[in-house]
Amino acid sequence: MTELDRAHLARLAATLKAGTDQEAWQALAEVLQLIGPAAEARLRAYHLDRESIDDVLAQSALELFQRRKRIDPERSLAGYFLATARSKGIRLLAVRARAEQLDESQIASRSTPSAEQADLRRAESQTGVDRALAEMDDIDAAILRAYAAASDDRAWTAAVARELGLDANAVRVRKHRALRKLAALLDAVDPRPRRSGQD
């Protein structure tokens, strides 16, 4: 990073701290342009895939925005952002390791399953689902298996979030992405429509 980049980052840090929300978002976008490539390179060293790197960078940027009023323009904004991204990347790896050990029975509850959960339970018995889940990221596969075993969506989300050390919103986002991935993998094996538009 050049001296000019450092000076520019110091100005962006001041804007993040004292600017309006709109000015802060614009400054944050510039920060990501300057620091993003270095953060990506560090995260690739952890063998994270593109989607995971994007998630970590987005979470890091959001944290920087939320804590912007506490930024010290005299300190390294690049160092703060890189440390945040590194921490979140390591946490994601830990979450994946815990997901491999996730016991579905720990998060299942006893109420009526949603339509999506019922579909997943039926899909688990279909040929190819196990292969599709094996091709998916470990944490996504664990989330889908646990989701299929659960009967209460709200309780399920909270339990999985606790087990994996994730935010409940992150669990919901991962679940929806994993459902789309599963559907795409199943469609690759059997392209017939899985669900009609009317139930």
Per-residue model confidence as pLDDT tens for the chain (199 residues):
788 888 888 888 888 889 898 999 999 899 899 898 999 998 888 888 888 899 889 888 888 888 888 887 777 888 888 888 988 888 888 777 776 655 554 555 544 566 676 666 655 545 566 777 778 887 888 787 777 777 666 777 888 888 878 888 888 888 888 888 877 777 666 555 544 443 3
Architecture of domain 105-189: Orthogonal Bundle (1.10)
Give pLDDT, residue 113. Answer: 61
Give pLDDT, residue 40. Answer: 92
**Distance linking the first and last C-alpha atoms of the chain:** 57
Domain extent listing, the chain = 3-98, 105-189
Q: What is the dihedral of CA 69, 74, 76, 77, to 10 degrees?
A: 30
Give pLDDT, residue 138. Answer: 79
CA–CA dist 22, 169 (Å, integer): 24
User: For 47, left (φ over 0), alpha (ψ -120 to 50), or beta?
Assistant: left
